[in-house]
Amino acid sequence: MCGMRFSTQELVSEFQHIVLASAGEHGYFERTDSPDTAGPTSLIFLQKAEDLPDQVAVVVTSERVALQVAPVTRALVVSVDDVRLAQALMKRRFDPYLSADTEWEAIHPSAVIHASAKVASGCRIGPNAVIGADCELDENVIIRANAVIEHDVRIGRDSVVHTGVNIGYKSQIGERVNIQAGAIIGGEGYGFVPNKEGSYQPVPHTGYVRLHDDVHVGSNTCIDRGTYGVTEIGAGVKIDNLVHVAHNVQVGENTLLTAQTGVAGSSRIGRHVITSGQVGILDHKTVPDHTILLHRAGVTEDIPTGGKYAGTPAQPLKEYVRTITLAKKVAKLEQKLRKLQAQLDAPD
């Protein structure tokens, strides 16, 4: 890991589809960095010229900033259209990023793996992990320490299941899925019916969870299995920490559910939806494609069309902004009313 060197020539040629130009002398770099952690062998991603560090090997930045910094740095300056996207792609390529505890044997002897489970080549299974009957792990799947995979689970290639995760039986996990530590995939949902005495009878939930390709699940997030069928998370959906997704929910492709959001049973979330933190969505509600839910929006009714919404109950952003400035408005109304009263009471 230490002592790795990358040639800037290689960088530019490997990323020629996004590199617009480069200025300065070619050389080497050892790691990616942010401007404030940079050293003489760092490649950094620079948003503002004033953040340029004294010592740095490569600066990846916009064309505008490149014009400002190229004359004042000895670093190679590489310009791109989208600096943040370049960071995502280049950091993934060049960082010594470890998703596995590679200090352990590929299949740790303390792991408990059922005889009927199929583990493809390139998989790693950490200490004390448990793999149930009839599971299938495709190439290069990583199951980390103390994770538990129940029976009949399928996990696609290059997926990573971090420590202490539980994946419930019959779950279908796509390729390149990343499940952070402590997440519970396929727990039994919350379904109870009161009898005449008011005592709640559980409805067994016997469905499963499907996570499509490239899904990210944050730490300690919970996704319940369907009552009979599937709870389904579309390809490319990114879910943050401590999110609750109830039974039978469907989430469309490339949607973002940020931290502590809760989605109640059977709701339908479209594609390219964004929920900012602590959003709540009641059960059996619809959130259409391209909806953005802000300021802890509470979705209590179907959202009719995409767009920005905020507040509880969720309302179009414009109305919400009007509502939160209401106090000032009412103060003004009071003042006007007093004036009017005075005007009316005044002797002509």
Select from 6-14, 54-62, 64-72, 269-277 the region that touches a second copy (CB under 8 A): 269-277
Residue 182 in contact with a second copy, rule: CB under 8 A: yes
- Please confirm, yes or no, whether 151 is among the known catalytic residues: no
Residues 148-177 close enough to bind a second copy by CB under 8 A = 148, 150-151, 162-164, 166, 168-169
Q: How far is the CB of 185 from a second copy (least distance, A)?
A: 9
User: How far apart, in whole angstroms, are the C-alpha atoms of residue 153 and residue 177?
Assistant: 14
Q: Using CB under 8 A, which of 11, 43, 143, 145 touches a second copy?
A: 145
Residue 343 in contact with a second copy, rule: CB under 8 A: yes
Beta carbons of 13 and 19 less than 8 angstroms apart? no
Tokens of 176: 């390149």
Residue 10 in contact with a second copy, rule: CB under 8 A: no
User: How far apart, in whole angstroms, are the C-alpha atoms of residue 281 and residue 270?
Assistant: 13
Residues 284-303 close enough to bind a second copy by CB under 8 A = 295-296, 298, 300
User: How far apart, in whole angstroms, are the C-alpha atoms of residue 322 and residue 313?
Assistant: 14
Q: Residue 4: which of 98, 144, 88 has the closest Cα?
A: 98
Select from 9-17, 47-55, 59-67, 146-154 the region that touches a second copy (CB under 8 A): 146-154
Q: How far is the CB of 71 from a second copy (least distance, A)?
A: 26
Residue 47 in contact with a second copy, rule: CB under 8 A: no
Q: Residue 287: which of 312, 261, 306 has the closest Cα?
A: 306
Compose the 208-247 pattern: x for residues touching a second copy by CB under 8 A, - for all others: ------x-x-xxx-x-x--xxx------x-x-xxx-x-x-
Beta carbons of 313 and 300 less than 8 angstroms apart? yes
Residues 17-36 close enough to bind a second copy by CB under 8 A = 32-34, 36
Residues 99-138 close enough to bind a second copy by CB under 8 A = 101, 103-104, 108, 110, 112, 114, 116, 126-128, 130, 132-133
User: How far apart, in whole angstroms, are the C-alpha atoms of residue 263 and residue 275?
Assistant: 10
Select from 6-14, 57-65, 69-77, 251-259 the region that touches a second copy (CB under 8 A): 251-259
User: How far apart, in whole angstroms, are the C-alpha atoms of residue 188 and residue 172?
Assistant: 16
**Kind of pairing between the strands at 192-194 and 200-202:** antiparallel
Select from 3-11, 46-54, 70-78, 272-280 the region that touches a second copy (CB under 8 A): 272-280
Tokens of 71: 């004359």
Beta carbons of 28 and 57 less than 8 angstroms apart? yes
Q: Which residues have CB under 8 Å from 143's CB, separation 6+?
A: 111, 123, 124, 125, 126, 129, 131, 137, 149, 161
Nearer to a second copy, 121 or 199 (CB): 199
Select from 8-16, 21-29, 51-59, 312-320 the region that touches a second copy (CB under 8 A): 312-320
Residue 282 in contact with a second copy, rule: CB under 8 A: yes
Q: How far is the CB of 94 from a second copy (least distance, A)?
A: 10
Whether residue 313 has a cis bond before it, omega within 30° of 0: yes
Q: Using CB under 8 A, which of 3, 64, 71, 336 touches a second copy?
A: 336
Which of 247, 272, 290, 295 is catalytic? The answer is 247
Which residue's structure tokens are 């060049």? 94
Q: Which residues have CB under 8 Å from 10's CB, separation 6+?
A: none
- Kindly list the catalytic residues: 247
